[in-house]
Amino acid sequence: MLVQLLEVNGLQGYNIKNTIHDSNLDVSLISCHEMPFNKLNQIWLEIENNAECHVFLSWSWISCWLRSCPQEYKILLFSDEGKHKGIAIIFESKRKLFKLLNVKQWFLNRTGNEKYDQCWIEYNDILAVKGFEKQVAESFQRFIASSSQFDELIIGMSNDNRYQKINGYSTETLLADQGYLVNFNEINNDYLEEIPSRNTRQKINKTKRLLESKGDLGFEIISDKTKKLGLLPFISEKHKKKWDSTKTPSGFNNPVFLKYFKACLESDFSQLATLSLDGRPIAVLVNYIYQQNINFYLSAINYDQHAKLQLGMLVHSLAIEHYRKQGFIVYDFLVGDARYKKSLSTDSYQQIMTRIYNNKFSLNLEMKLKSLKN
């Protein structure tokens, strides 16, 4: 493997060039100071426009996240004869091992700082041009195997386990969680009549009847930026009320998350599915729209006056049927093994957060001690 300084479209970085066979790609690690944000925007969109990816790897989402992160980062760029084939963001950090040794950490499309990583990413991976996904992954594996720049790399949440076996490295699953989705191809005529169980359907219909008896029940999909921002106080208040007493408090207490979330609301890829009673919101879903997929990110529900009603399931069922009729393919609840998600879905999947670590003595000893504790 040859390590050398190179120019990538006029940008200097460190090139890790694999020379094992001619299908290898050039892997360049470029400081954010070497690549202006508008140049990163250009290259990312160039790759994204030729890729099949999730909303979390789109420039729409990545740019909202990066603008909320004041920390320095590096760009991992994969090229083939000067043509860009893959890209990701790397943040560097370190931790203390046994209160003595420094462990150098890399994070893929994450910062390693909880304050910034409340801007939660799923389906995390390297963005790759369609048809080059395997080459990019293999080049990254060889890069990891030959690199001495970090001791451990954290990737997640991801539904891909192709980085589990890398020469000289071992893996640890830090987190695993279940996700659920609705595949619209499995619906013939009506979602509510075909997918949820009879018991779930009865709960949803009962909630709808009770609300209609109390006033004018409304459902609306909101794309207008001003209207979305107008609902931010309701979303923040109700989200904090639900989550602040749990082990995972609401991100709306975090200024970094709030900055990121506002940027998302101001972007075209976000929509709000709202349920109202007499013109006042009682439930709001925040959805990220990308290609043919709807991705449910978070909800805000007024349980104060409607504690015994299934507001969440009702607004989800209305949103699902709306998007199905619009021609979308998937309604993804994302990860979180909640009972209501299972009740409303057609399929499930798993995503994991993986730690890839060097097989050096100190890190292997750490894993051995962990296993003894468990």
CATH code: domain of residue 44: 3.40.630
The predicted model gives 46-59 an average pLDDT of 97
- pLDDT score recorded for residue 95: 92
C-alpha dihedral over 39, 41, 47, 50, to 10 degrees?
-130
Does residue 371 sit within a domain?
A: no
Is there a domain that residue 297 lies in?
yes
Please check whether residues 219 and 314 belong to one and the same domain: yes
Give the CATH number for residue 194. 3.40.630.30
244/95 same-domain check = no
Please check whether residue 250 is in contact with residue 244, taking contact to mean a CB–CB distance below 8 angstroms: yes
What pLDDT score was predicted for residue 23? 53
Cβ–Cβ under 8 Å, residues 12 and 33: no
The answer to whether residue 233 sits within a structural domain is yes
Query: What does the pLDDT read at residue 75?
Result: 97
- The residue-averaged pLDDT of 190-215 equals 95
- At 7 the pLDDT is 39
**Does 93 map to a domain?**
yes
pLDDT cut 70: percent of the chain above it: 94
* Rounded mean pLDDT, 251-274: 96
Do 167 and 295 belong together in one domain? no
Q: What is the pLDDT of residue 3?
A: 32
Residue 136, pLDDT score? 95
Whether 181 is covered by a domain: the verdict is no
Q: pLDDT tens digits for 217-246?
A: 999 999 999 999 999 999 999 999 998 888
Count of domains observed in the chain: 2
Residue 69 lies in a domain: yes
pLDDT score, position 62: 97
How many Å separate Cα 308 from the centre of its chain? 31
- Both 87 and 158 in a single domain? yes
Is 146 in the same domain as 26? yes
* Confidence at residue 211, expressed as pLDDT on a 0 to 100 scale: 95
Tell whether 245 and 128 lie within a shared domain.
no
The answer to whether the beta carbons of residues 302 and 282 sit under 8 Å apart is: yes
Task: Please give the C-alpha separations between residue 236 and each of 230, 249, 276, 295, 374, in angstroms, as whole numbers.
Answer: 11, 12, 17, 19, 38
Residues 341, 360, single domain; the answer is: no
Residues written for the chain:
374
Contact criterion met (CB below 8 Å) for 271 and 222: yes
Give the span between the Cα atoms of 133 and 306, in whole angstroms. Answer: 48
Same-domain pairing of 115 and 246? no
Give residue 102's pLDDT.
92
Distance between alpha carbon 301 and the CA centroid of its chain, in Å?
22
What are 296-346's pLDDT values in tens digits? 999 999 988 777 899 999 999 999 999 999 999 999 999 998 999 999 999
Instruction: Say whether both 108 and 246 belong to one domain.
Output: no
How much is the pLDDT for 217?
97
Tell me, what DSSP letter sits at residue 99?
A: T
Residues 219 and 96 in one domain: no
278 and 138, same domain (yes or no): no
253/279 same-domain check: yes
- Residue 16: which pLDDT band, with cuts at 50, 70 and 90? very low
Residues spanned by the domain of 114: 2-176+351-366
The verdict on residue 373 lying in a domain is no
